[in-house]
Structure 1
Amino acid sequence: MEGLNLSSINQSTSRPELIDFEGISMVRYFTDEWEKVQKFQARPDDILIATYPKAGTTWVSYILELLYFHNTLPESQTSLPIFIRVPFLEAVFPEMPTGVELADKLPTTPRLIKTHLPVQLVPKSFWEQNCKVIYVARNAKDNAVSYFHFSRMVNLLPEPGNWNTFLQNFMDEKMVFGPWYDHVSGYWEKKQTYSNLHYMFFEDMVENTGREVEQLCSFLGLSTPAEEKERITKGVHFDAMKQNDMTNYSTFSHMDFKISPFMRKGKVGDWKNHFTVAQNEQFDEHYWRKMKNTTLQFHTEI
């Protein structure tokens, strides 16, 4: 990554406006190179990590990286941040290579690529090449809280306002990458017809990371030795990743860590510290209306 000076990127980028794009809310940082994103040529061994923002993307990315490259790429784990090693496909951030450019230049096999795009906007080549897709879903309440704090500290998203405003926008589906409800349900429906999609839940990962690593290995056809899996499970513990400068985004200059850390709590049930009783009742009523036609079930506590 010659010429990539992450520390020099201007912190004062003004916040973008929400735009309506292909039927969902977006900002230009994810649409500016849209044609190149849609024409991206996936390879059959690519692995796409898909999530709604703040649902465990970096966590799963790091698990996959360790499963595949723990023994072969140790130097990159200590010198290149994860947002370079696992490119964000649709990202077009100031003074950085685009996600497509980073993905095209990835030296690894398989290439690990992440996206927040809803299922209908994923480049067709991933489906045509029958790529493995790993989707991580997080319960709506915790996801909303995490997305709120993230929006406060990253200047590539619209101004979030206060918690009350943000939660209302979440329910009104005015979120970058579209409504949470459609996002999680869209991939859930896709899984019924596309066998190479592994659907995971953030809450299951918190409850038993080792079991989820085991299931990932099974889905990916990896015969990782038990002691290696154990080492990986320890290495991806939230506190370990929060301290790791290559996974905690501390070198990504569009974030203000004085407002909030990128990796904040990683817990299930933090929503209880944010929702008022009235907000919770209103949210529940709205939630069941939106989710009544899906078999998808979430835990809001463990």
Structure 2
Amino acid sequence: MSTWSDTLQFDTLSLSADAPLPSLALVNLTHWGLVTLVGQDSISYLQGQVTCDVVSLHAGQSTLGAHCDAKGKMRTIFRLFHHRDGLGWLQRKSVMDSQLPELKKYAIFSKTTIEASTDALLGLTGEQAQATIDTVWGGEGDVRASEHGTAVKIDEQRWLIAADSDTVRHLAEKLAASAVLSDDTLWDLYDIRQGCPRIDTDTELEFIPQSMNLQALGGISFKKGCYTGQETVARAKWRGINKRAMYIVSGQAERCPKAGDVLERSVGDNWRKGGTIIAGYQFSDQQSLALVVLPNDLEEGTAFRLADEPESRWQQLPLPYSLEEDA
């Protein structure tokens, strides 16, 4: 089946661990999907389903959030923004088939239409991403709407474009001469370095939102009303029952770590399960990075290894944000 990207070649970049990232890269986000909610009840319906405050989300903002089951375990982590005549919700494509029916389950009682979008998804990364968006898309703010779709700022060096296929194809072809083209492993690298969480099928319904630092990233509102899983999420904050957090780790690996892989930690002369890999990236020299959920009370300097690579040694790196509640 042909797609908007068929005229261009988006390959995995060969980057060593000490190599600078491209000043401008176009990223084909093939492992990501977009959900849209359209209808007068979309905001109120979603407010009762997710961890973030949808009612307070302005047109120029985006937010992270989580959709949980009744026990507070996450079905997905998403980025939410105003899109076309409703809301756009970016998440990993791997959870679409299981998560989307759950999101739609009670929508029959509300005036909202929830469906997977046919819009194409293109990422822009690098120090020139902001200036490029200003030139080719225009507008102001962190979320920029047009008749063709929406541009969303992810962080200081990343923008997402969700638009119709013709628009995305035209933009990509226009920028291809001055940009590096990459598959979405480059997006993975940015997510890991930024400590930005995600849920794939291998980690679905495994963790509560605080286990992946959503409270530190503005993805949980503790002031809004009830939503699915809210009791568990609130109890984790007020009673301090959450014992895990997400961290960045680095080490040598024979293959790229993937979601669901086990990272072991050293305990004296022995090794025990330490945590679960959320996302991984491998450089061309086999140096690797990963996001991993670990106990939040580990001693500084704890050694780690991949369970299926017992000779490997990994170490924890600092997060680019604080996990302290009062920060």
Q: TM-score, normalised by structure 2?
A: 0.28
Q: Which has the larger radius of gyration?
A: 2
Q: TM-score, normalised by structure 1?
A: 0.30
Larger relative contact order (CA 8 Å, sep ≥ 6): 1
